[in-house]
């Protein structure tokens, strides 16, 4: 681990503990070169995932890219950061538990849309509009129509627990 202050390679772990959600390890480090202290968050990765893009390219799965997409969809919505992190962790666990080494970007998008649909309708529409690349107003209209509950279904709460 390189020191973020001086770039020195020799850093020592002084304290290590699990994060509250248990999905990562928080390490307190000190640089052997400049003596500065800093914190790293390390996540356990069960398997190397590869994303198959729409054009057939294969790229390593990027958890941060997924997290950014979820956060953009939830921007200015009443969903706190901790809940957003749980959503991302849940999605990553689903992908890792699938048993697949290669996962299509379409599957990742569908899982993200399902998760957002359960949490916040506005965030779901935001994500879907980018993911499905809507170019016509009719596509938005159809999405909103599809979101309406059937008469037989009881209305869903706007923010169920994940």
List, for residues 38-89, the tens digit of each pLDDT value.
Answer: 999 887 666 689 999 989 999 999 999 999 999 999 999 999 998 999 999 9
Res. 139 pLDDT band, cuts 50 70 90: low
Averaged pLDDT, 141-159 = 59
Q: What is the mean pLDDT of the chain?
A: 84
Residue 14 confidence (pLDDT): 93
| Residue whose entry in the numeric block shows the structure tokens 């973020």 | 4
CA dist 70 and 114 (Å) reads 12
**Cα-to-chain-centroid distance, residue 148:** 26
Three-class SS state of 134: coil
**pLDDT score recorded for residue 8:** 92
* 12 within 8 A of 24, measured Cβ to Cβ: no
pTM for the full model? 0.65
| Token couple for 4 | 């973020």
Answer yes or no: is pLDDT of 136 > 50: yes
Contact 118, 94 (CB under 8 A): no
Domain regions of the chain by residue span: 11-43, 50-147
Report pLDDT digits (tens) over 14-41. 999 988 777 778 999 999 999 999 999 8
Q: Is the pLDDT reported for residue 116 higher than 80? A: yes
Supply the pLDDT for residue 45: 62
DSSP 144-157: HHHHSPPTTSPPPP
Specify which residues 13 forms β-bridges with: 29
Q: What is the pLDDT of residue 159?
A: 45
Burial bucket for residue 138 (CB in 10 Å: 0-12, 13-18, 19+): exposed
CA-CA-CA-CA torsion for 92, 95, 99, 105, nearest 10 degrees? -140
Q: What is the mean pLDDT of residues 132-142?
A: 68
Higher pLDDT residue, 140 or 29? 29
Tokens matching residue 14:
């002084």
Is 48 in a helix, a strand, or coil?
Answer: coil
End-to-end CA distance of the chain: 34
Q: What is the pLDDT of residue 160?
A: 44
Per the DSSP assignment, residues forming a β-bridge with 29 are 13, 38
């Amino acid at each position: 681990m390189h020191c973020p202050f001086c770039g020195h390679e020799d850093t020592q772990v002084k304290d290590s503990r699990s994060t509250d959600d248990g999905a990562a390890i928080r390490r307190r480090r000190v640089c052997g070169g400049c003596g500065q202290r800093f914190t790293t968050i390390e996540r356990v990765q069960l398997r190397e995932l590869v994303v198959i893009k729409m054009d057939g390219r294969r790229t390593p799965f990027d958890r941060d890219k997924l997290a950014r997409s979820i956060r953009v969809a939830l921007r200015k919505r009443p969903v706190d950061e901790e809940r957003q992190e749980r959503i991302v962790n849940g999605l990553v666990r689903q992908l890792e538990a699938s048993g697949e080494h290669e996962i299509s970007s379409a599957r990742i998008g569908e899982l993200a849309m399902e998760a957002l649909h359960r949490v916040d309708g506005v965030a779901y529409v935001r994500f879907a509009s980018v993911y499905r690349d809507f170019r016509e107003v009719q596509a938005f209209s159809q999405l909103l129509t599809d979101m309406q509950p059937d008469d037989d279904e009881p209305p869903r709460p706007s923010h169920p627990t994940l």
